[in-house]
Structure 1
Amino acid sequence: MEGKKKLKKSKVIKIDSQKSWDYFITQANTKGYPVMVYFSASWCVPSISMNPFFEELAFSHQDFMFLRVDVDEVKEVASKLEIKAMPTFLLMNGGAPVEKIVGANPDEIKKRVDGFICSTPSQNSI
């Protein structure tokens, strides 16, 4: 069975309610690490195409919390944060949005995450 990749456990946390959103944002704030949120929709082709990229990003940035929110399942969160297009990526720190990237643009997302890391003091690993 050579050539087969081992399945990695996802580092992305799926948010399924306002309650789970509040819980994980509070956890991130308490522990002092930034959050990268991926707002998507199951019917959105660009969102679906970004799933593997977001999983890889989560593996390569262990000092972030990665959350995925389906805008149709958790409308309250998407509405509160004024998410109007999918996919949208939101970088948060201290519970507040820092960067918003709209669209399926892996290079720009990686650049913004790396830029954020360079501009902040070192974080504790999750």
Structure 2
Amino acid sequence: MGNCWTKLFNSGQEDYAEVQNVDSKNVHLITSMEKWEAKLLEATEDGKIVIANFSAHWCRPCKSMTPAYCELADKYTSMVFLAIDVDELAELSTSWDIKATPTFVFFKDGRQVDKLVGADKSDLQQKIAAMDESGVAQKNYSS
């Protein structure tokens, strides 16, 4: 499986583009503070859990996690998966205390509820599965 998003270089200018993996539309590339705020607000209003992947295009562990992150995004479509380049949005990365890449931050109702630092596919899958179960259980009891 290929990367669902990547950073492309075009004549010295950095430009983000999604690779043609149509099945990974659930990974949203965040390229501005405005887009970040809009996606977080939208997910909060919809009652969705957000998983934010803070990574860097030069980071090998980040690159190795991309296929797994995309697969999880395809599997857990009730959640919102975001991809943030720490170099491109340093202000955002600093505001969430990102000190290593990759770092996965989990949000519910617009607030951070968990964090995973490092490229451990199994840990990421387990945390997302646990978030999904807790989100479903809460929805069922609140109905």
Unaligned runs of 5+ in 1: 1-5
Runs of 4+ more than 4 Å apart: none
Q: Shift of residue 7 of structure 1?
A: 4.4
2:60 pairs with 1:60: no
Q: What CA distance in whole angstroms lies between the structure 2 residues aligned with 1:40 and 1:119?
A: 26
Q: Shift of residue 113 of structure 1?
A: 1.1
**Structure 2 partner of 1:8:** 22
Q: What CA distance in whole angstroms lies between the structure 1 residues aligned with 2:38 and 2:130?
A: 27
Q: TM-score, normalised by structure 2?
A: 0.78
**Structure 1 partner of 2:120:** 105
Name the structure where strand makes up a greater proportion of residues.
2
Q: What CA distance in whole angstroms lies between the structure 2 residues aligned with 1:86 and 1:103?
A: 6
Q: What SS does structure 1 have at the residue aligned with 2:98?
A: coil
Q: TM-score, normalised by structure 1?
A: 0.88
C-alpha RMSD over aligned residues: 1.6
Q: 1:34 aligns with which of 49, 54, 59?
A: 49
1:104 alignment partner AA? A
Q: What CA distance in whole angstroms lies between the structure 1 residues aligned with 2:67 and 2:126?
A: 17
Unaligned runs of 5+ in 2: 1-19
